Amino acid sequence: MRDYLQRIADRDSLSKKEIQEAMNNLFSENTTDSEIAAFMIGLKTKGETVDEIVGIVEALRANALTYHSEISQVIDNCGTGGDGSKSFNISTTSAFVMAGAGLKVAKHGNRSITSKTGSADVLEYLGVNLDLNPDISLQILKDVGITFLFAPYVHPNIKRIMKVRKDLRIPTVFNLIGPLTNPVDLDFQLLGIYRRDLIEMFAEVLKSLGRKRAVVLNGAGFMDEASLAGENHLAILDDGKIQYRVLHPEELGFSIYSNEAIKGGDRKENAEALLSVLKGKKGAHRDIVLLNAGIGIFTGGIASSIEDGIKLASESINSGAAMEKLEKLIENSHAGKTEVI
C-alpha cells in the first residue's frame, strides 16, 4: 500500500489494475484508517482519471454481494447527492414512474447521508422491507419490475472505508461513485451528479463500465437532478458515442419553478410528496418527476426522445401504473419468509 500511496502523492496516475489492487488493500484489516484517508485525499489532490474511477468501482462491486441474474435491459436512476438542495426524493419517485412505463428498475440507494431523507428512509416509511437477500431482490425485480437494493446490505465490507469518508468531512471520489456500484449488471443508467465539471468524465466512466445507453446530468442550481429552474446540462451516451445537450424546461412545455419549490423534509413529508405525485396531484413536484422520469424512460430505450419519455411518464402516473408498482413492491418485499442479511 505504501508504494501506491507514494505514487499518488507524486501525482502518478495508476492503471485500472493497479487501482484495483490498491482498493483490495483497503479491505484488509492490516490497512490503517490513516492509509485509507491518505488514499482518498491523495487521489482528490492528484485528480482521478477515468481508469482509476472505473477500477475503484469494479473493486467495490467485486467485494459486494453477488446478484446473479438473467434479467436484461435493467436501469438505475440514482444520483450522487451532495447538491445541498434538500429536495424531496425525486429520483425515488421517478423510479416508480419509470417502472410503470415498462422499464426494469434496480434502484440502488441508502439512508440519508448528505440529504435530510434518503431513498431507504422514505421507502421504509412507506412500508418497503429493506432486509432482502439477493435472490429475493432479483425475484421482485422479475415479478414487479422494480426492486430496491439497500447499499449497506449490498456492500457489507466497506463499513470502515465509509467511516473514514465521513470522518474526513470533505468530498472525495467516494462521494460520487455510489450510484456506479449497483451490483446488478445494468444496461442503462441515469446518473445525476452535483458537479457539472465532471459530466463528461462520468459519461466516459459509464462507457467503460459497459452501459448501452446512459445520461449524466447536472441541473440548474447544480442539482443532481434535472431542474425546473433553468438550464440542465446532459451528456448522453448511446452506442459508444457521447453527445451533449442543454435542456431548458420551457422547451418541453414545463412552467419554471425555483428549486425552493421542490424542497423536502423528514421522511413522512417526503413520503407524502411521493404519494401525491403518484396519485396525480399537479404542480412542481409532479412536473419535476415527469422531467426526470421522462429522461430516464428515454435512457432506458423505450422512448425515442426525452419528449416522448415525458409523455410515457405522464401516462404511467395517469393510468395508476406507477402507484401499482409501489404497492406491489411493498407487498412482495414482505411476501413469505425473507432472509435478513
Extract the annotated binding site for anthranilate: 79, 110, 165
CA distance 43 to 194: 19
Number of Cβ within 10 Å of residue 17's Cβ equals 11
CA distance 319 to 317: 6
CA distance 64 to 153: 9
User: Which residues line the annotated binding site?
Assistant: 79, 82-83, 87, 89-92, 107-115, 119, 165, 224-225
Do residues 75 and 190 lie in contact, with contact meaning Cβ atoms separated by under 8 Å? yes
Beta bridge partners of 242: 237
Q: Which three cell numbers stand for residue 215?
A: 445520461
AA letter at 203: A
CA distance 178 to 195: 14
User: Which residues line the annotated binding site for Mg(2+)?
Assistant: 91, 224-225
Number of Cβ within 10 Å of residue 287's Cβ equals 22
User: Which residues line the annotated binding site for 5-phospho-alpha-D-ribose 1-diphosphate?
Assistant: 79, 82-83, 87, 89-92, 107-115, 119
